[in-house]
Structure 1
C-alpha cells in the first residue's frame, strides 16, 4: 500500500474516531439530534481539511528541513491557528444546540481552544515527527550514496591510470625497431594496443580474472624488455588454482611498473622482476589469494620509491575490500648474490565469481 493511501486512511479513521467519541458524549446526555449529527460530520471534514492544508504547507516550504529551534515555533503557531478555527465553528453552534452546557464566562473560549489544540497538537506532532525523521534518514542515505559515488569515481580514476611516460618510451622503442626488426615492431604495437585497451576498459570493471591481468603484465614486460634488453629479467609463476580469482584491473601492472622504474632501472647491472601467486589456506575463514612481487631495488622514501603506485594499490584495495585485503611492501635481507630485493605482498579475499570459477578448475571443467 502506498504512503498516500495510508495517509488518507489514517486521516479519515483518526478524525472519525475523535469526533465519534465527542458525539457519543452528547448522545448519552441529550439523545440523538440531527443537527448535532451534522455538526459531527462537519467537524470530521473540517479536521481533515485543516490538517491536510497544514501538510501541504510544510511540504511546500520544506519545514521538516529546518533546525528544531526554527521548526518548533511554526508548529505551535499552526496548532493554535487550527484550534482557533475549530473553536470559531463549534462554540457558536454549541451555544445554540446545547445552551444548558455553556457557561457564560471568558474561560470557555480558552477551554475550547485547549481541547481542540490537544487534538491538533497530537496530529501535528505525529505527522511532523514522522517526516522530520524520514527526511533526516533520506539525507543520510543521500550522503551515503554521494560517498559511494565519490569512492566509485576515485576507483575508476585509479583503475585507469597508465603512466604516459611509459607510453612515450614504448613508442620510441617500437619506432627504433621498425627498420631493424619489423616483425618485433608489429608485435610491440599489438602489445601496446592491448595495454591501452585494458587501461580504457579498466574504469568499467571493478575486477578481472588474474589470468587476464597477467596477460597485461606480460605485454608490459615485453615492451619494457625492448627498452632494457638484457638488463631486465622477469619470471612469472602462478598457482593454477588462482587463474580465475578476481583482482583489481591494472593493479599488478602498476606494481610491476613501479618495480622497474624505481628498482631495476636504477641498478647498475639491471635486475629482475618476479611475480608469483598462491592460495593461503585459513582455518578460521575462507581461503585468500596471495600475490608476491619481488624485484631488484632498495626500499627508501615512498616518494622516491614509487609513492603513487603504492598509494594507488593500497587505496584501491581499501575501496574494494576494506580491511579484508592486505598490502605490504618491505625490504628483504640484503645478504644475496643478486643484490638487495624489495618484496610487495598482496592478500585478496575471494569474490563469489572467482570462487565459482576456481571450483570448475578443481573439477577439471576448464
Structure 2
C-alpha cells in the first residue's frame, strides 16, 4: 500500500472515530433524557458515512476533479457534497427503518422529509471532508511541483555547465589562431578582420551563459564570423549558403544551439569530404513553428553514433525551455545530405 493510501485510511478512520467519540461525549455529558437507540443510530451513521465518503473519493478520482482549475474544483466539490449528503440521508433513513431503530420524534415526518433533514445536517461534514481532501492533495501537488522544479533547476544547471564547456571548442580556437597566424604575413588586413571575428565569438561565449535565449539575428552574426574563420582554415574551398527568411531574424532562439549543429556538420561533413565542402544554413516558418538548421554532406550513421549524447543534451535543453512543443531532428534527405533541424513554437 502506497504512503498516500495509508495516509488516506489513517485520516478516514481517525476522522470518523473522532466524530463518533464527540457525539458519545456530548450525549453522556449534556443529555437531558436517554435517547432510545442512540448508539445503534450513531454506529449506523458512522458506518454509512465512512463508506459513502470513501465512494465519494473514488468518484473524485474517476472524474479527475482535482485536475480542474481552482474555481471549477470548488464548484464541483460543492455539488458533489450536496449529492452525497442527500445520498447519506437516504441511506440512513432506509437503514434505520429496516433495523427499526428510527427516532420516535421523526416518525411523523415523511421519508424524504427525514432524508433531507439528515442531508442538511451532514452537508457541513461532507463539505469539510471534501475541503480537507482537496487541501491535502493541493499541498501534496505543490510539494511535488517544488520537488520537480528543483530537479529541473539542477538539470538546467548541469546543462548550463555542459553548454558553457562546449561554447568554445578548443580545437576550433587552436585552428582559428593558426589560420590567423598564416595570414599575418600574407594578408595583414584579412588577419585583422579574422582577429575581430574571433574576438566577437569569444565575447559571445562569455556572455551566453547570462541568457537562455538570444535573437536569431544576433546568433546568425556570430555564426557568420565562425564560418568565416572556418573558410580561412579550408582555404576558401567551403561553399556556404544562407537561406534565411528575414522575418525570422527577430525570433528568440536558445543560445549556441545552431553553432553546435554547425560544428557537427563540419566535423562529419567538411572534414571527411575534401572535394565537396558544402554547408547550408536555413531559417523559416513552418505552420506555427520557427524552424532553423544546417544541411551538409556526411555520414548520418557516424553523425548519430558519435553525437548522440550531445544531441540528447540539446533536446533536454529544448524541453526545459519549451516543453514538448520544441523538437530536434537529424535526418538524411533525398540527396544524401544530413539535415539537422530545430523547430520552436512561436
**Global fold match (TM > 0.5):** yes
Q: TM-score, normalised by structure 2?
A: 0.61
- 8 Å Cα contact 1:87-1:113 kept in structure 2: no
Secondary structure of 1:266 counterpart:
coil
Matched, 1:192 2:193: no
Unaligned runs of 5+ in 2: 50-117, 185-190
1:290–1:347 CA contact under 8 A, matched in 2: yes
Of 259, 268, 274, the match for 1:253: 259
**Distance (whole Å) between structure 1 residues aligned to residue 147 and residue 165 of structure 2:** 29
Residues 327 and 244 (structure 1), Cα distance of their counterparts in 2 relative to 1, 3 Å cut: same
Alignment deviations for residues 74-103 of structure 1 (CA, whole Å, 9 cap, x no partner) = 223312332232123312xx2xxxxxxx36
Q: Which runs of 4+ in 1 moved over 6 A?
A: 111-122
The residue aligned with 2:338 is: 342
Q: How does 1:1-366 map to 2 (within 5 A)?
A: 67-91=7-31, 94=32, 102=33, 110=39, 126-148=127-149, 150-151=151-152, 154=155, 157-158=158-159, 161-162=163-164, 164=166, 166-173=168-175, 175-176=177-178, 177=180, 181=184, 183=192, 186-201=195-210, 204-205=211-212, 207-230=213-236, 232-269=238-275, 271-280=277-286, 282=287, 286=288, 288-301=289-302, 303-322=304-323, 324-334=325-335, 340-350=336-346
Aligned partners of 2:235 and 2:312: how far apart in 1?
A: 29
CA contact (8 A) 2:167 2:256 kept: no
Offset at residue 305 of structure 1 (A) = 4.8
**Separation in 1 of the partners of 2:340 and 2:45?**
74
Q: Deviations over 1:33-74 (max 9, x none)?
A: xxxxxxxxxxxxxxxxxxxxxxxxxxxxxx999523322332
Q: CA RMSD in A?
A: 4.0
Give the SS at the match of 1:306.
Answer: helix
Q: Secondary structure at the match of 2:250?
A: coil
Larger Rg, first or second structure (1 or 2): 1
| Structure 1 stretches lacking a partner, 5+ long | 1-62, 95-101, 335-339, 351-366
- Render the CA deviation track for 1:214-271: whole Å, top value 9, x for unaligned: 1232233244445444454433232221111222222211111111122222224462
How many aligned residue pairs are there?
Answer: 264
Taking structure 1 as the reference length, the TM-score comes to 0.58
